[in-house]
Amino acid sequence: MATLSDADIRRVSDELLAAERDRRPVVALSERFPGLTQEQAYAIQLRTVQSRLDAGSRIVGVKVAFTNKSIQQEFGMGEPAAGFLFDSRTFSDGAVVPFDALTRAMVEPEIGCVLGEDLKGPGVTVAMALQALAGVMPAIEIVDLRFKDWKVTGPDVTADSDGGWGVVLGGQLTPVQGLDLRLIGCVLSKNGGIVSTGAGAAALGNPAGVIAWVANRLSSLGLGLRRGQVVITGSLMKSEIISRGDSFTAMYDRLGSVSVSFK
């Protein structure tokens, strides 16, 4: 296992922030720090979070990656990974996002869950998670890794804020009462043509289970979910690469739709 000092963590975090700012990808951390662990990766990510907060950004929610079992296996992950959403990169339905702000980005349709009350682990169950939700809404995550290629490990992704760049949220909040989140279907269109379909069960079997998982995982980092925050619960289908001029619309059964374009 690689040994990372506080100075190493600070340096790597600053490097990733610079790579994002300058759109200059860097070599994967796992190549430089063999045996990089998830706990070390979270330490790097939380340093980045603090830098964003110091610069004036505000946390508005949480993103969860690796909620799809096949993706977990691809990256050698035994569980999902948590990251954070910031106000400066939270967009409304129909947003136009500058393509030149991105490095090597993709979109992922996800179910967004809005907290109606604080929720902190350990011991949070699916039932408790459902009880805590004010409702659910359509979401498209904008994923953007800052590494030179996608030959990365799970800890690489976690250290780089789980590949998080931003999120686009739909304008409709639907109460969860009477909904089976596992059965919420989604159709993703790119430039007017359907490219993928999926359903809520792709997110760890149940998006409510993702809420329970992240509440419990954050508790191990001394954190919790807050009333009003949104949690995007993982992609319901394969990611779609973004090219300049692309437009995407994710249409959800009973939840409405959300769109974004890149110019």
Determine the Cα–Cα distance for residues 91 and 217; give it in Å rounded to an integer: 26
pTM, two decimal places: 0.94
Please report how the helices 38-54 and 6-22 are oriented relative to each other, as an axis angle in degrees rounded to 10.
60
Please give the single-letter amino acid code of residue 125.
Answer: T
pLDDT at 136: 98
- Residue 1 in domain: no
Q: Which residues neighbour 127 within 8 Å (Cβ) at sequence distance 6 or greater?
A: none
Determine the Cα–Cα distance for residues 103 and 86; give it in Å rounded to an integer: 18
Tens digits of pLDDT across the chain (263 residues):
678 899 999 999 999 999 999 999 999 999 999 999 999 999 999 999 999 999 999 999 999 999 988 778 777 788 899 999 999 999 999 999 999 999 989 999 999 999 999 999 999 999 999 999 999 999 999 999 899 877 788 999 999 999 899 999 999 999 999 999 999 999 999 999 999 999 999 999 999 999 999 999 999 999 999 999 999 999 999 899 999 999 999 999 999 999 999 99
- DSSP 3-state of 216: helix
- DSSP 3-state of 67: coil
Contact of 253 with 236, CB cutoff 8 Å = no
| Of 235, 245, 242, 257, residue with least CA distance to 93 | 257
- Residue 151 in domain: yes
Contact of 164 with 83, CB cutoff 8 Å = yes
Domain that holds residue 151: 6-262
| Domain tally, the chain | 1
pLDDT at 73: 79
CATH of residue 219: 3.90.850.10
